[in-house]
Amino acid sequence: MNNDPNAQPGTPGQAPQSASQYAQPVAYDNNGNPLYAHPPQQTGQSPQPQMVYLTRPLEPAKPEMSEEVKQRSEESRKTYPGLNLSEGEYIITAVKRHPIGLIQIWGTLALVALVLIAVFAAFFLNQTTSPLVGVVGESEDIQLVGALILGGITVLLALGGWAATYIYNGNRFYLTNESVIQEIQTSLFAKHEQTVSLANVEDASYKQTNPLQLMFNYGSIRLSTEGDETTYRFTYVTNPKQHIATLNNAVEAFKNYRPVH
């Protein structure tokens, strides 16, 4: 073994050098600067970690949109100004309720009106049974009072029918290239909006439960979302099978990063 303390490191057969020897220069360059076998370190201090600083723009770059997408988005904003559409978002399908619901509303009101007319005609216009005999006196006066009451009831029924129609038509369902939007009208002055991203739609299905729905081709559609397990329902949908097929295709395209049409 070579025990020469002046031997240079790296010589074959030389014993490993101690830490103090690593801190001593082993040679000098042409300018007289010392060269070390290992970079010297200060005792008791650990090496400083390397820091990497990254920067990002204050305003991220906007994704490129085709002219077709821009045009469809602009048309949707003009057609549906009440909807909160993001940039580049456009309406694919606008689902309204089936008119059979209006037939049920106005049919019920008409039936109630006929019953009330029959009751008031028999109660007020019959001089032998009318409680107004002896109060009003003349038959013409009784008929006038009965006509005013019937007229007032008719006006109230008409206003009720108009309000029910407004609320019924105020409930709508929209499918866009990014989300599902549902407008819910619960009264004349109460309305709110629900928006679900296509990425969060876990299941979409439809249901027709009676012969009337099958005959007139309407039913209800149901959406369930991931995570919070929220369920959304929309009733009296015209051709629900077709709308669910369109929705499922849009969800699949969105989740697979394909264009949604």
| 201-207/218-225 β-pairing | antiparallel
Q: 231-238 and 201-207: which strand pairing?
A: unpaired
pLDDT score, position 111: 93
Q: What is the pLDDT of residues 41-93, one digit of tens each?
A: 655 555 566 666 566 666 656 667 888 999 999 999 999 998 989 989 999 99
Domain ranges, ordered by start, for the chain: 68-74+89-97+174-255, 101-168
User: Is the confidence at residue 168, as pLDDT, over 90?
Assistant: yes
Residue 216: DSSP 8-state: H
pLDDT category at 131 given cuts 50, 70, 90 is: low
The tokens 């509303």 sit on which residue?
A: 105
**Residue with tokens 């876990």, as numbered in its chain:** 202
User: What tens digit of pLDDT does each residue of 23-37 get?
Assistant: 677 777 777 777 776
What is residue 113's predicted lDDT score, i.e. its pLDDT?
87
pLDDT: which is higher, 169 or 61: 169
Mean pLDDT, residues 139-162 taken together? 81
Between residues 71 and 137, the one the model is more confident about: 71
| CATH of region 68-74+89-97+174-255 | 2.30.29.30
**Interacting residues of 184 by C-beta distance below 8 A, sequence separation 6+:** 171, 191, 192, 193, 194
Who wins on pLDDT, 209 or 25? 209
Q: Is the model's pTM score more than 0.85?
A: no
- Report percent pLDDT > 90 for the chain: 47
Indicate if the pLDDT at residue 256 is higher than 60.
Answer: yes
The two three-digit tokens of residue 254, written as one number: 């969105």
pLDDT classification of 130: cutoffs 50, 70, 90 = low
Tokens found for residue 113: 């009106």
**Is the model more confident about 137 or about 158?**
158
* Whole-angstrom Cα Rg for the chain: 41
SS3 label, residue 95: strand
Q: What mean pLDDT value characterizes the chain?
A: 80
Under the banding of pLDDT at 50, 70 and 90, the label for residue 1 is very low
Give CA–CA dist 190/205, Å, rounded: 28
Distance CA 187, CA 192 (A): 11
